[in-house]
Structure 1
Amino acid sequence: MTRSGPTTGARVTATYDLVVRSAAVLIDGAFRPAEVGVTGGRITAVVPTAPWSSAAADTPTGPTEPQALAGAAVVTLAADEVLIPGLVDTHVHINEPGRTHWEGFASATRAAAAGGVTTLLDMPLNSIPPTTTPAALAVKRAAAAGQVRVDVGFWGGAVPGNLGSLRALHDAGVFGFKAFLAPSGVDEFAPLDPGELERALAEIAGFGGLLLVHAEDPELLAVHANAGGRDYGRFVDSRPAEAETRAIERVIAGVRRTGARAHILHLSAASALPALRAARGEGLPLTVETCPHYLTLAAERVPAGATQFKCCPPIRDVANRDALWQGLLDGDIDLIVSDHSPSTAALKFERDGDFALAWGGIAGLQTGLAATWTEAARRGIGLERVVGWMSTAPARLAGLAAKGRLAPGADADLVAFAPDATFTVHADELLHKNAVSAFDGVTLRGVARRVFVRGVEVPGGSLARRAGTAGQASTALPTGRLLTR
């Protein structure tokens, strides 16, 4: 087999491990006809071709156009499919070990692949132990080994008990550190008070690390606490936008004093955008994410007792949703990630739909791309922008230079995506472990039909097929690997 060096833009004849042909390949932010050659799990050629119709490309005598690259395996995408880089989801709670009945590596990574996600970073909670020491990281990696269908890396945690020793966890390979400023919901992952936040930022600045912050102000949450109940509006009242805005201002002040890099997690309150814009205008090293559920759902449409919609911070109103989209378009929000935070159905629906008592978290790993693209398309926003927010930008946040792009030297993480295909979400057919979804019954646009991780097709993954159902290759070998910073 001929091994070729990286090639872009020139028609060549070479033999690759895999060649993928499409009339629409996302190259440098635009779709164009091209062929992608893969060798050893990496993209080694991206060759633009003349316009052609994939529907007419295969004849009884074989492919007729294009013929730039030859491969041991050749995949020609259908006329309604485009080739995009696999998504990079940097905010996923897998929960194994310790709460594996909530979610595990096998189920989560199957769901990820089915939704077009080829790389994910696991949050340091809600597993037991949380990933707050090198020893706990080793436990987490051992639990994941041999199970993953996509590439998986790990965030560490910054909690009161490990401040002063974060460098060791950084050196062990975590991609950064997550901290809460308000209670996390689990006792083993305590929040940082204002003084501890300052200490964490200063410590992390000392070795060039990154602090991820769940920013809600605990004092304001205490002031606005209420008796809960089935009314969603009361739940939103208990976690007002001001709690996010005040906490974010505290992070900004700490970054200004210490020079640390910080990232604001799951922004739900658009009212925080002016302060973030001003801080970034100063040159402060701040990045911001939001999530599909904040961009596609709205408080006005959450029924009483529908605790599958509960997350913290909460889904807010339509005007706030519109402002978040504007923040993305203006560049004030950098990326979109799932914040996949599942639990058992019993925890999610207990106490007859009381929002104060139900577990808070949206299970959106498999549906995130389709939900976001459905809403983006409705707003006239191109798929290339969505992929930038959900693949390229998260890869940049994590420092994963080989992810999030279709270019020579990048990992061959490829998704054949049908942007106009539709499907209806049924929670009990999704591949994550528990049959709970805020998108249950919703018709979405966009299907990841084929997914390749480093040039190897992910087995058994297609949208709306649950482990153990017909067609699910649940015994196939994993295709993913464990990543370190």
Structure 2
Amino acid sequence: MSTIAKLDLVIKNGSVVLRDEVKLLDIGIKEGRIVQLGEALDAELATHMVDAAGLTVMAGMIDVHVHLNEPGLGDWEGFETGSAALAAGGCTTYIDMPLNGIPPTVTINGMQQKLAAAKERSYVDYAIWGGLVPGKLHELIPLHEAGVVGFKAFMSSPGGQGEDAFREVDDYTLLEGMKVIASVNKVLALHAESEPIVSKLGLDMREAGRLTPSDYVASRPIVAELEAVNRALFYAEQTGCALHFVHISSEAGVRSIQHARDRGLNVTVETCPHYLALTSADLEVKGAIAKCSPPIREAAEQEHLWGAVANGLVDIISSDHSPCPVSMKEADNFFDAWGGIAGAQSSVELIIGEGHVKRGLPLTLLSDMLSGAPARRFGLDGVKGEIRIGLDADLMLIDLNEAYILEERHLYQKHKHSPYLGMELPCKVMATYLRGQRVYGANTGLDDSKQGRWVRPL
């Protein structure tokens, strides 16, 4: 019997996005792994066949920046609804942040509670971030040994309330934490905004009665991002700690990080779809649904950021899915509304649609930012992140010619608000496969079973 006869699934006739090229190929899958790539695999000898003619086949997105808020805040979002939205958006693996759950993942107990909440409730695979906060330096090594992919710290207030809420780092905790994290070869992810700058400007705005969206944007200027980035890079030079800067909103921030990389620092940079799809003018129309920190920037800055993406200066694009109940977006002034964008389901369609369909950026470049680079950075390469023989068959099928208007009925997240509602998305995820099993189809919805597993870095 031929090898082909043993295949579980053949996906035929798709335009397959490999690491360095796009080719018309068939994909042979066995026991969850890609085992063959060829131009004429015999689908009749496989158990199942999918005809992907006219579709683009890409590695499933690895979203390294997701807040699913369990344990403790499942009324905001949970693993079941959050992973459903991710699956519908072409994501096959996500890394859950240590906040806003209660307790946060800053102790082994907190990590165990998070994993218990996720078990058998996720549609796609997941990994876990640990947290770096004041008073918990002794927890870093145990969390590392337990299997977190890295650690997350805030250089400005995360906005949580209550005794157990996640806290921003002081300079001592940041410096000492970097030493510990470097000793175990992990990565520290940083929300880089200067707390002294943004808190003082925010207070001044409130006292002056300046409470509009544009006032909020002015209270969190790019210089606050740059100050925090450069302070963290200085500490990294002293400690040898690998850094990953999350949701960088400015070209200047990207270039500061690139200059550090040119000097030999181990550092990567992430931006998010909302900085590439929305501008500060949208805040006036959409309101707090589009509020986040750092804030959405003006149109000229967005174009500069797209230039950084096009030039390969951005490593990773992630959603920063930060959901909450609609009531938390309703406030008397913009400053009091919860800051966080719920957009996990739309990341791929926004980035491939705007980046490739509209701007003509190579699919290989965008696929690497969505999948390949996240896998390499956080120890999942060799298992995930590319369409390559031997890797998990984590795939998304996209119709580059299927534009549609995003409506509430399309959303799988718990609370059906999104700044992208009403927008025309230039392409559409038609199917998502996790280890060769379809977990989502545009015409069939979600698969009944939840096959997501906890994955740990190699």
Q: TM-score range by the shorter chain?
A: over 0.9
Q: Distance in 1 between matches of 2:395 and 2:286?
A: 40
Shift of 1:435: 1.3
User: Could you say which residue in structure 2 is the equivalent of 1:370?
Assistant: 349
User: Could you say which residue in structure 1 is the equivalent of 2:16?
Assistant: 25
User: Tell me, which stretches of 5 or more residues in structure 1 are unaligned?
Assistant: 5-12, 50-65, 464-470
User: Within 5 Å, which residues of 2 pair with 1:176-187?
Assistant: 176-187=150-161
Determine whether 1:190 maps to 2:162.
Answer: no
User: Could you say which residue in structure 2 is the equivalent of 1:418?
Assistant: 399
Cα displacement string for residues 341-397 of structure 1 (whole angstroms, at most 9, x for unaligned residues)? 00000001233xx21000001111001111122221322213332212111111112
User: Could you say which residue in structure 2 is the equivalent of 1:318?
Assistant: 299
User: Could you say which residue in structure 1 is the equivalent of 2:187?
Assistant: 210
User: Within 5 Å, which residues of 2 pair with 1:59-208?
Assistant: 67=42, 70-79=45-54, 81-187=55-161, 188-208=165-185
User: What amino acid is the match of 2:455?
Assistant: L
Q: Distance in 2 between matches of 1:472 and 1:400?
A: 28
Task: Out of 176-185 and 18-27, give the one that drifted further.
Answer: 18-27
User: What amino acid is the match of 2:260?
Assistant: A
Shift of 1:230: 5.5
User: Within 5 Å, which residues of 2 pair with 1:408-447?
Assistant: 408-447=389-428
User: What amino acid is the match of 1:35?
Assistant: D
Aligned mate of 2:373, from 386, 393, 399:
393
User: Could you say which residue in structure 2 is the equivalent of 1:57?
Assistant: none
Number of residue pairs aligned between Structure 1 and Structure 2 = 448
Let me know the Cα RMSD of the aligned residues.
1.8
SS in 1 for 2:223: helix
User: Could you say which residue in structure 1 is the equivalent of 2:35?
Assistant: 44
Task: Out of 422-431 and 121-130, give the one that drifted further.
Answer: 422-431
Shift of 1:83: 1.1
Shift of 1:324: 1.1
Aligned mate of 1:234, from 215, 238, 243:
215
Change (3 A) 1:205 1:447: same
Aligned mate of 1:480, from 445, 452, 456:
452
Shift of 1:428: 4.8
Aligned mate of 2:269, from 284, 288, 293:
288
Q: Distance in 1 between matches of 2:188 and 2:211?
A: 35
Asked whether the 8 Å contact 1:35–1:69 carries over to 2, the reply is: no
User: Could you say which residue in structure 2 is the equivalent of 1:219?
Assistant: 196
Change (3 A) 1:224 1:430: same
Asked whether the 8 Å contact 1:181–1:215 carries over to 2, the reply is: yes
Q: Distance in 2 between matches of 1:300 and 1:168?
A: 45
User: Tell me, which stretches of 5 or more residues in structure 2 are unaligned?
Assistant: none
Determine whether 1:462 maps to 2:434.
Answer: no
Shift of 1:307: 0.8
Q: Distance in 2 between matches of 1:342 and 1:428?
A: 17
Change (3 A) 1:265 1:473: closer
User: Could you say which residue in structure 2 is the equivalent of 1:55?
Assistant: none
Asked whether the 8 Å contact 1:212–1:264 carries over to 2, the reply is: yes
Cα displacement string for residues 192-217 of structure 1 (whole angstroms, at most 9, x for unaligned residues)? 11121101111111111110000000
Asked whether the 8 Å contact 1:232–1:305 carries over to 2, the reply is: no
Asked whether the 8 Å contact 2:106–2:139 carries over to 1, the reply is: no
Q: Distance in 2 between matches of 1:439 and 1:230?
A: 24
Q: Distance in 2 between matches of 1:48 and 1:250?
A: 51
Cα displacement string for residues 440-474 of structure 1 (whole angstroms, at most 9, x for unaligned residues)? 11010111111110011105x538xxxxxxx6557
Task: Out of 28-37 and 176-185, give the one that drifted further.
Answer: 28-37
Asked whether the 8 Å contact 2:108–2:139 carries over to 1, the reply is: no
Change (3 A) 1:148 1:38: same
Task: Using structure 1 for the length normalisation, give the TM-score.
Answer: 0.89
Q: Distance in 1 between matches of 2:42 and 2:191?
A: 50
- Give 1 or 2 for the bigger CA radius of gyration: 1
Asked whether the 8 Å contact 1:19–1:70 carries over to 2, the reply is: no
Asked whether the 8 Å contact 1:220–1:243 carries over to 2, the reply is: yes
- Greater fraction of residues in helix: 2
User: Within 5 Å, which residues of 2 pair with 1:271-286?
Assistant: 271-286=252-267
Q: Distance in 2 between matches of 1:361 and 1:462?
A: 27
